[in-house]
Structure 1
Amino acid sequence: MSLKLIEWRPDWAREFDVLAALIREACGPSVVRVDHIGSTSVPGMVAKDCIDVQAIVRSLSDVKLTEGLLSSGFTVSPGPSEYRDHVPESWNGDPAAWDKLVFRPPLGTRIGNVHVRVAGRPNERYALLFRDFLTHDQPARDAWAEFKRRLARAVAPQLTTYGQIKDPATDVLMAAAERWAAETGWKPPQPVNGSV
């Protein structure tokens, strides 16, 4: 599979809203919160034309969650990288804290990835901090966009290779994001209605 990055599109926010509504309808109370994440959620960022969604749940083993998504036409994304996020080198805890599930939206709807993660886990925070840091820090956003363009163009035109190189580079970016979070008092949003 080849890789193509495009310039940021304002329509991505509206397309996320449509996917989020489908997820909420399919899962009901099994989903605590639905977030737009990844590069399409950062105004001005180049990205693959694929909406990344984070669905926050209480448990990955919630049968109603999986049944709801599958009966609504979502499909399970295959592959080992779909069951655990990249674990940063700096992580000292149990790697299982980075576990997740990934679903694809129903055929005929917007192309996307639905990352199902457990509330309060580090991968929930990582995705939200990435988004918020790059949204608020234009020099970091511009530098990250240029890194992605160069990587896609010259180093790794294949999607799998692109990801293998980008993951450790993201960890470097996230060190700056953690400093920003400490300086600004940034915290991830609380679950909707305080439910977890």
Structure 2
Amino acid sequence: MVAGLVSGLVVLTPPDASAQAGKPRATAILVPGAGGAVPSDFLIRNRAALEQKGIATIVAQDGVAAAVARAGHPVVVIGMSKGTPTAAAGSSQADGLVLVSGMLMPGPAPLSVKAAVGSPSALPRTLIVHNPDDPCALTPASGVAAFQAWSGRAQVAWIRSGPGQGKPCGPFSGHGFAGNDAAAVAAIANFILAR
């Protein structure tokens, strides 16, 4: 669990933001994957990399819409794997949404971004970050094109990584961009800051 996580939220401000410009350039609401807000989660382990780019972070395991309202603007919601339906459901008032190794296939709301959102018109500006060789059966790369067509406007950043270690849907497999976090983080940060 992330230190300081209270009632599902913890606010983390970039350490050098006040020295650079007095405030962060943007805020990212991070919705971790199935393991929760643990250090190994892709979003949690790369939080410092986002902060170094002037992006403040709020970790939200639930209550995403409330976190968006609290953050002010610009704010982008980022969901990882099993957190993508939760991220998408709470992102309607955000300036953007990033679906990392997303659950893009049809299915019930807890397991599908489409079902959680309901309509493409409810999606803000959206980026899909996906490994074309994602080994997780719940997040196949084949779901990306269909989701992109359904959304009508989602952008895609394909990020390849090694096979990694551990479970196919785990944070250190290709599903979690094992060995290539930097490229995935760069795609996310560029999307957030290119408003």
TM-score, normalization by structure 1: 0.28
Report which of the two structures shows the higher radius of gyration computed on alpha carbons: 1
More helix by share: 1
Task: Indicate the structure with greater strand content.
Answer: 2
TM-score under structure 2 length normalisation: 0.28
- Between 1 and 2, higher relative CO (CA 8 Å, sep ≥ 6) is seen in 1
